[in-house]
A and B are shown apart, each in its own frame.
Chain A
Amino acid sequence: MAERHVVRLTVNGESVERLVEPRKTLADFLRQDVELTGTHLGCEHGVCGACTVLLDGDPVRSCLLFAVQADGARVGTVEGLAHDGLHPIQEAFHDHFALQCGYCTPGMLMTVHDLLQRSPSPTREEIRKALAGNICRCTGYHAIVDAVEAAAARLRAAPPREAAR
């Protein structure tokens, strides 16, 4: 059995300290050790995007990182998007039927959150490019693109108090 290491980080603003094996992925760490199961695993090889979280503000594949690599970092997950209720991006997904089974949705939301921070008025083409690393098997993407357009408009009109870190 491999030696365990202390990992200290913040997840959605809360300090977390756990003892983990070096081979444990950040995704498994979040799901099993921190018990935040909103981050989903679809491929465990970095293609599907379901496990996307924010690491020090940047979107990353939590299945391709070890928990020990996130030592000292700020991690943001879907559970931290809104303090209470829903974030405007989440509301837009609801309004536009932009989810079906909901399995890809957390990763999709984190990617969109990052996109709209960098680019507040993306075109449909730009939205589609930004979502290229998040596979949705249910919707066909059209409704997701609609939702992102609507969320962008909403965020331009009234930026929320930022929750995800």
Chain B
Amino acid sequence: MATSGTRPRAVGRPVKRVEDGRLLAGQGRFVDDLHLPRMVHAAFVRSPHAHARVRHVSVSRALALPGVVAVLTADEAARLCHPWRGILTDYVGMKTALQYPLALDKVRYVGEPVVAVAAADRYVAEDACDLVEVEYETLPAVVDPEAAMRPGTPLIHEELGDNVIYRGGFDKGEVDQAFARAHRVYRDRFVVGRQTCVALEPRSLVAAYEPREGSLSVWISSQVPHMMQAIFARILGLPEQKIRVVAPDVGGSFGLKIHCYSDDVAACLLAMRLGRPVKWIADRLESFATDIHCREHLVDVEAAVSADGTVLGLRSRAITGVGPWSCYPRSSVVEGNQVIRLLTGPYRIRNYKAELNVVAQNKALMSQYRAVGHPIASMVMESMLDRAARDLQLDPVEIRRRNLVRRDELPYTTAFGYVFESGSYLESLELALDKGGYARWREEQARGRREGRHLGIGLSCFIELTAPGSFYGSGGAPISAQDSATVRVEPGGTVTALIGVTNQGQGAHTAFAQIIADQLGVSVEDVNVMSGDTALVPYGGGTSGSRGAVLGAGASILACRAVAEKVRRIAGHLLEAAPDDVELRDGKVSVRGAPDRSLTLADIGFRVYYQSDKLPRDLEPSLEATAHYTPARPITWANGVHMVVVEVDVETGLVKILRYVTVEDCGPMINPALVAEQVRGAVVQGIGSTLYEHVVYDAEGQLLTRTLMDYLVPGAAEMPDIEVHHLETPSPFTLGGFKGIAEAGTAGAPGAILNAVNDALAPFGVRLTRQPITPDLIRSALRQAPALNRDGRR
């Protein structure tokens, strides 16, 4: 096959990133770096209220300001486009209202855009916003998710009849019997605060409309250019072939940049009305107020456990508050569903009943952020295991060993119905314990307690849903389940690849260059990978759900195979050999066993592109192929284990992480350095979730966390070194055996840290079930602690 040769394989090696040079030199090309002739700048008048009727809007003073070129009101915006609705039809019974670019009759969250302005520069545009007069009649805000469900609560959308967007659940196995025969039943309520993504590059867009062609070009900081093309076509009423969407360099995204935002649509409408390019860049306040939020969940859980620590059954009841609308087009019901579906984790729990309520409230819209649902599900399960272990006087390791799915049980079907085909659940745990020095840390902990230091050790064993081959499309959303690659050998013998998967920092171009280099027997330097432009690349789904590596690799491999076949047929003709006897290696195309009978790819390129008239008519003069790939299974499951050691300062409530060890199994690694960095970055986001990050609204729905001084993200000084270990259990069902990795760290961290903190606080009889774990939370729990009990049991 093409992958053999004297040059070492690129796949599996920590090949340095091809993306770095420009970015290091300050030559990145982010959306805000783009300047077009006659470009104007958009700014928005935004709601200062969580819930209010819009009584009157006056824009005349704004329009009169020198430098202002357009003011777009809600009525006009509604006339110029089709509204959208964030429904996935496979969530039966879900409902949500239509969404418009600008608030029509009511505002429903703080920061909702009400009027859009375009002006010569952003400074003037913001001046003009100050001159727009809006009269509001405030209404009671619906903030608390449980209150939102109660009869008599004010309605956010009167026409829907109540504030419940979706009610779901399932009942699998024999749950009541499991609880009836339990040795112990543990009940807890977990409260997880709102968060947001905080990509350092804010949402950014430049839209340019050519009225004579009826064509719209949009440069947007996005993970999903083809999806944006499809939704702009639907909303703006333009045909898809007239819309070009380009995602140039993207400064982080993490699930932030895969949604339809109303201010983006309004900026496009301004560009279409003006026939001039419009730039719209969110500032940080706008980001906090209007980027999607995530993770606001209440989970009531009951676990039925036998005397030996076997989890016999579970019941969960989750409520999640998602803002006034279900987000378009991915909806706002997925995270809640993943909380209940993933709750059993990698554990053998046959009996499980779950219920979910997704409710509307007067806060920003909520949707998918890195590891959607996983962190909550994992944290709940891991915390319940630790509680049971402590009560049953089992080591937390032992209770996990007794419940983890064993390799000989694969394929294993979870209570909900997920199928794990391959994985290393117990093996990952043992490796983490060994690498993390679990036994030594237990000794250190005991010594620390004698000295008045409060160390805690936390474990989490988790699964990661990756590379969904079918997900949103089945619910009617224009979101591709397949991905694509065009691979072309250029006349000079080097390779250009156009990939449907996008790059927001993961190193995707490097990874695909490695795969393509091996497939075609060329060096990584000879492959140039491009992505992110609907006018350039074949139709793709971009990034989400840890799909990029799996789907992009699959499509690249298939495209390379097709190109290699073309090369072999043409070389076979030129070398007078059977195509099957021709091999590609080290940039050469030669007859197997006769290395002197060889051509370079450049020789073949010259013949194909410039002397095709001399080739036989039945040989297509082409060194290019496009392939599309959907994984054979709906989900490719990755898994891992985190072990963390913390020290809690019981005076200040501060948590210090002393050691962080991860074991990740994403199958064969394309590039171990890229994998390690995905894990580390994701772990730190998980640490942020657990200890710092919290979007706070007051009782009136006013947003209180409006700057990076109020909303804390992890900084270098607080973060630990993070040790990353790997197991490589290939998927039997993906090309190359690859599995996704991007979200694993974020999935696993909250459970491990919560358990570590609770382990440290156990001697005080304190057990926390809330996130983020702030110093205040720890101190107030300690103040209310029932008793000091040195062995940690009540």
Chain A interface residues toward B at CB < 8 A:
1, 21, 23-24, 31, 36-45, 47-48, 50, 77-79, 81-82, 86, 90, 93-95, 97, 99-106, 109, 124, 127-129, 131-145
CB neighbours (8 Å) of A145 from chain B are: 716, 721
Nearest 5 A/B pairs, CB to CB: A38-B26, A102-B23, A101-B505, A103-B251, A100-B505
Q: Let me know if B66 is at the binding interface, CB within 8 A.
A: yes
Q: Contact check: which of B19, B123, B708 meets A48 at CB < 8 Å?
A: B708
Could you say which residues of chain B place their CB within 8 Å of the CB of A78? 25-26
Decide if B284 touches A99 in the complex (CB within 8 Å).
Answer: no
Interface of chain B: mostly helix, strand, loop or mixed = loop
Interface hit among B101-109, B150-158, B478-486, B681-689: B681-689
Q: Are B24 and A79 in contact (CB under 8 A)?
A: no
Q: Given that A23-B123, A38-B28, A44-B284 are contacting pairs, would A141 and B684 also be in contact in the complex, using a CB cutoff of 8 Å?
A: yes
B716 & A86 in contact (Cβ 8 Å cutoff): no
* B32 contacts across to A, CB distance below 8 A: 31, 37, 41
- Given A38-B28, A100-B507: A94 and B21 interface contact (C-beta under 8 Å): yes
In contact, B680 and A140 (Cβ under 8 angstroms):
yes
A144 to B199, CA, bound (A): 18
Nearest CB of chain A from residue B525's CB, rounded to whole Å:
14
Question: Told that A40-B251, A142-B721, A143-B680 touch, could you supply 20 new A-B pairs with CB distance under 8 A?
Answer: A37-B30, A38-B28, A39-B26, A40-B201, A44-B284, A48-B284, A79-B26, A86-B25, A97-B676, A101-B201, A102-B19, A103-B251, A127-B716, A135-B200, A136-B200, A138-B505, A140-B684, A140-B745, A141-B714, A143-B677
With A23-B123, A42-B284, A128-B716 given, is the CB distance from A103 to B20 under 8 Å?
A: no
Q: Does the CB pair A135–B719 fall under 8 Å? A: no
With CB as the reference atom, state the residue of chain B lying closest to A41: B32
A-B pairs with CB below 8 Å: how many? 177
Is B252 an interface residue, CB under 8 A from the partner?
Answer: yes
For this complex, 11 residue pairs linking A to B, each with C-beta atoms less than 8 Å apart, are A82-B25, A94-B20, A97-B17, A100-B505, A103-B200, A128-B716, A135-B715, A140-B683, A141-B715, A144-B716, A145-B721
**A29 to B680 Cα, complex, angstroms:** 35
Question: Which of A36, A97, A102, A141 lies in contact with B719, CB distance below 8 A?
Answer: A141
| Chain B 707-724 interface residues, beta-carbon cutoff 8 Å to A | 707-709, 713-717, 719, 721-722
Partner of A105, one of B24, B677, B716: B24
Q: Is B33 an interface residue (CB 8 A)?
A: yes
Of the residues B20, B23, B202, B708, contact of A135 by C-beta under 8 Å: B708
Partner of A42, one of B16, B23, B201, B680: B201
Among B21, B677, B716, the most chain A Cβ lie within 10 Å of the Cβ of B716
Contact call B200/A90, Cβ cutoff below 8 A: no
Give the CA-CA distance A95 to B17 in the complex, in Å: 9
- Which residues does chain B contribute within 8 Å of A36, judged by CB atoms? 26
Tell me how far the C-beta of B13 lies from the nearest C-beta in chain A, rounded to whole angstroms.
13
CB pair A138–B26 under 8 Å, yes or no, is no
Q: Is the CB of A102 within 8 A of B251?
A: yes
Most chain-A CB neighbours within 10 Å: which of B21, B25, B683? B25
Quote the shortest CB–CB distance from A107 to chain B (angstroms): 9
A43 touches which of B21, B66, B707, B721 (Cβ 8 Å) = B707
Residues of A within 8 A of B33 (CB): 31, 37
Q: How far is the CB of A7 from chain B (nearest CB, A)?
A: 16
A103→B681 contact, CB < 8 A: no
CA distance A133 to B507 in the complex (A): 25
Q: If A94-B16, A94-B20, A100-B507 touch, does A138 touch B681 (CB 8 Å cutoff)?
A: yes
> Given A94-B17, A103-B30, does the pair A139, B680 have CB atoms closer than 8 Å?
yes
| Chain B residues near A143 (CB-CB < 8 A) | 677, 680
A103 to B19, CA, bound (A): 12
Q: Judging by beta carbons under 8 Å apart, are B719 and A99 in contact?
A: no
Which chain A residues border B682 with CB–CB below 8 Å?
140
> Which residues of chain B in 465-511 are interfacial with respect to chain A, using CB atoms and an 8 Å cutoff?
504-507
Beta-carbon contacts under 8 Å, B49-73 to A: 66-67
Are A44 and B283 within 8 A (Cβ)? Answer: yes
Task: Say whether A21 contacts B123, CB under 8 Å.
Answer: yes
Q: Does B250 contact A (CB under 8 A)?
A: yes
A143 CA to B680 CA, complexed, in Å = 9
Cross-chain contact of A124 among B707, B709, B721 (Cβ < 8 A)? B721
Q: Determine whether the beta carbon of B721 is less than 8 Å from that of A101.
A: no
| Residue B27 is within 8 A (CB to CB) of chain A in the complex | yes
CA distance A153 to B673 in the complex (A): 22
Residues of B within 8 A of A129 (CB): 716-717
Residue B539, interface by CB 8 Å: no
- Residues on A with C-beta less than 8 A from B722 are 140, 142
> Is A100 in contact with B252, judged by CB distance below 8 angstroms?
yes
Report the Cα distance A77→B17, complex, angstroms.
23
Are A1 and B677 also in contact (CB < 8 A) when A47-B707, A103-B201 are? no
Q: Which of B251, B673, B683 has the most CB of A within 10 A?
A: B251
- Given A44-B284, A138-B681, A145-B716, check contact A103 B28 (CB 8 Å): yes
A133: chain B residues at CB < 8 Å are 715
Complexed CA–CA distance, A93 and B17 (Å): 11
- Bitwise, B22-47 to A at CB < 8 A (1) or not (0) is 11111110101100000000000000
Known: A100-B681, A101-B249, A132-B716. A38 touches B25 (CB 8 A): yes
Of chain A, the residue at the smallest CB distance from B199 is: A137
Beta-carbon contacts of B7-23 to A below 8 Å, as 1s and 0s?
A: 00000001011011111
C-alpha spacing A101/B507, complex, angstroms? 8
Give A144 to B716 CA distance when docked, in angstroms.
9
**Neighbour of A45 across the interface among B201, B677, B708, CB < 8 A:** B708
Identify the interface centre among A24, A78, A137: most chain B CB within 10 Å of its CB: A137
Chain B residues within 8 Å of A43, by CB: 284, 707-708
A137 touches B25 (CB 8 A): no
When C-beta atoms are compared, the residue in chain A nearest to B716 turns out to be A131
**Minimal Cβ-Cβ distance residue in A for B16:** A94
Bound-state CA distance A145–B231 (Å) is: 41
Q: A99 with B26: in contact, given A40-B201, A47-B707, A50-B200 (CB under 8 Å)?
A: no
B25 touches A134 (CB 8 A): no
Give the residues in chain A near B66, CB-CB below 8 Å. 1
A152→B284 CA distance, assembly (Å): 33
In the complex the two chains form, what is the Cα distance from A19 to B785 in whole Å? 64
